[in-house]
């Protein structure tokens, strides 16, 4: 597994629970995952040559049967899989997923619904494209994650403020029309025969003023027709990028006009949804469902795709901006019935402002018989921690 951060610890536990040994790579010699793994090696996830060398030197020794990530390092995964003869997607497909302009161009050429947009190579490009897209846009890096560098722009003044002082290293970037609607995630997997299996759909919620995720819910509250539409777009989008094996994750906005795909990657969504929420909702998480495919099995059985039987959600713990915070009573909050987990990334500190998801200091997870019941439990727990 490439990437050994605190959120990936649960992935290691998942793999070991079904009898697999786990090798974790990370650039940090003190990576939180390392104490939980069977074998570790300190390699930067973007150092493809070092990763390939490790895989080739140790494939027989450790009987390496598969490689994956729950981070943005999908190109590294594809390169190692190709070099070591492991199951994986093509390098071309992985790079196309990572580069937002490449995948958007492919989707537009194939008639797949995605917001209109184009690349900006210099500040003067921004003004022209801003007008063409109706002066309500979203700007984001060509390659990025976690909302870093992304921003909503709704006026000429905001446009000037955003681009006047940007260095050349900010460019090129993507500007696309701002589509107003609800946000959703999809997880799915292809088997080695190219059969597509939808795993599930999540609802996601974001801060009104910045690209900070404030929470998520599983299963989605979209009706069956809309959910199936997102599954169909996910399959079409993946195949247009040359992906017909392994896990895929897709990000969507759903407006009155229907679903539009925003991004895709040949992996599952991050651990908060793919591991925690799915397990709290249906006992078996999405990673555990697809492990046979990652490890080289040819197919899944439909009966192995477990459906949710409870509602689950997580919520970001967001101290007010411009304040010092010190989380208290976390243990007491966890004693509330059906509060499942607290993922505390930073227990104290100072919040200046929220710019992207990396600024969030923690999350609370809960499950229940209804969405309203889950929300009430999370509200109570967060109040105990913050106040």
Residues 34 and 165 in one domain: no
- Look at residue 170 in the predicted model and tell me its pLDDT: 67
**One domain, residues 208 and 239:** yes
Task: Copy the structure tokens of residue 225.
Answer: 């027709």
Do 255 and 207 lie in a common domain? yes
Judging by DSSP bridges, how do beta strands 23-26 and 39-42 pair with one another? parallel
pLDDT at residue 66, rounded to an integer: 95
- Please state which of the ranges 89-93, 110-114, 140-144, 169-173 shows the lowest mean pLDDT: 169-173
Give the residue carrying structure tokens 């929220």. 354
Q: Phi-psi region for residue 134, left (φ > 0), alpha (ψ -120 to 50) or beta? A: left
Range of lowest pLDDT (3-17, 23-37, 150-164, 219-233): 150-164
pLDDT at 189: 98
pLDDT tens digits along 229-285 = 999 999 999 999 999 999 999 999 999 999 999 999 999 999 999 999 999 999 899
CA–CA distance, 281 with 246 (Å, rounded to integer): 23
Q: Determine the 3-state secondary structure of 354 from DSSP.
A: coil
Asked if 291 and 171 sit in the same domain, the reply is no
Question: Is 93 a member of any domain?
Answer: no
Give me the number of domains the chain comprises: 3
Residues above pLDDT 90, as percent of the chain: 81
Cα 379 to the center of its chain, rounded Å: 24
Residue 147: the pLDDT is 65
Determine, yes or no, domain membership for 195.
Answer: yes
Q: Could you tell me if residue 107 is inside a domain? A: no
pLDDT of residue 6: 92
pLDDT of residue 146: 63
Is residue 168 pLDDT above 60, yes or no? no
Positive or negative CA dihedral for 243, 274, 113, 142? Answer: negative
pLDDT number for residue 124? 80
Q: Indicate if 130 and 234 belong to the same structural domain.
A: no
Please list, in sequence order, all residues whose beta carbon lies within 8 angstroms of the beta carbon of residue 338, skipping any fewer than 6 positions away.
366, 367, 368, 373, 374, 377
Cβ pair 256, 247 in contact under 8 A: no
Distance CA 60, CA 266 (A): 26
Rounded to the nearest angstrom, the gap between the alpha carbon of residue 98 and the centroid of all alpha carbons in its chain is 12
pLDDT band at 166 (very low <50, low <70, confident <90, very high): low
d(CA 347, CA 325): 8
pLDDT surpassing 90 at residue 382: yes
Which residue would you say has higher pLDDT here, 49 or 305?
A: 49
**pLDDT the model gives residue 355:** 87
Residue 334 falls inside a structural domain: yes
Mean residue pLDDT of the chain comes to: 93
Q: Which helix (H) or strand (E) holds 61?
A: helix 48-62
For the chain, what's the residue count?
A: 387
pLDDT value at position 210? 81
Distance CA 276, CA 285 (A): 7
> Is 102 contained in some domain?
no
pLDDT band at 329 (very low <50, low <70, confident <90, very high): confident
């Amino acid at each position: 597994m490439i990437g050994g951060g605190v959120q990936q610890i649960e992935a290691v536990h998942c793999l070991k629970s079904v009898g697999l040994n786990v090798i974790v790579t990370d650039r940090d010699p003190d990576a939180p995952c390392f104490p939980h793994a069977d074998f570790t090696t300190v390699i930067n996830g973007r150092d493809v040559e070092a990763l390939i060398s490790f895989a080739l030197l140790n494939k027989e020794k450790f009987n390496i049967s598969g490689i994956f990530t729950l981070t943005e390092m999908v190109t590294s995964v594809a390169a190692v899989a190709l070099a070591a003869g492991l199951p994986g997607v093509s390098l071309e497909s992985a790079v196309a997923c990572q580069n937002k302009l490449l995948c958007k161009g492919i989707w537009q050429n194939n008639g797949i619904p995605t917001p209109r947009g184009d690349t900006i190579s210099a500040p003067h490009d921004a003004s022209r494209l801003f007008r063409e897209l109706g002066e309500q846009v979203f700007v984001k890096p060509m390659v990025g994650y976690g909302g870093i560098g992304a921003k909503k722009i709704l006026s000429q003044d905001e446009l000037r403020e955003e681009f006047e002082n940007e260095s050349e290293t900010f460019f090129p970037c993507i500007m696309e029309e701002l589509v107003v609607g609800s946000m959703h995630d999809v997880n799915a997997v292809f088997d080695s025969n190219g059969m597509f299996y939808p795993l599930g759909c999540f609802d996601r919620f974001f801060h009104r003023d910045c690209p900070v995720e404030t929470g998520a819910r599983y299963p989605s509250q979209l009706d069956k027709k809309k959910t199936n539409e997102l599954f169909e777009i996910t399959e079409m989008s993946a195949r247009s990028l040359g992906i017909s094996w392994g896990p895929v994750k897709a990000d969507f906005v759903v407006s009155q006009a229907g679903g539009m795909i925003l991004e895709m990657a040949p992996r599952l969504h991050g651990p908060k949804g793919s591991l925690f929420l799915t397990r709290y909702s249906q006992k078996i998480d999405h990673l555990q469902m697809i492990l046979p495919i990652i490890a080289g099995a040819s197919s899944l059985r439909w009966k192995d795709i477990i459906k949710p039987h409870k509602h689950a959600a997580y919520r970001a713990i967001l101290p007010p901006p411009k304040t010092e915070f010190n989380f208290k009573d976390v243990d007491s909050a966890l004693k509330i019935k059906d509060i499942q987990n607290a993922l505390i990334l930073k227990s104290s500190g100072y919040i200046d402002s929220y710019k992207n998801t990396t600024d969030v200091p923690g999350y609370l997870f809960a499950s229940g018989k209804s969405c309203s019941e889950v929300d009430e439990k999370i509200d109570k727990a967060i109040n105990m921690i913050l106040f």
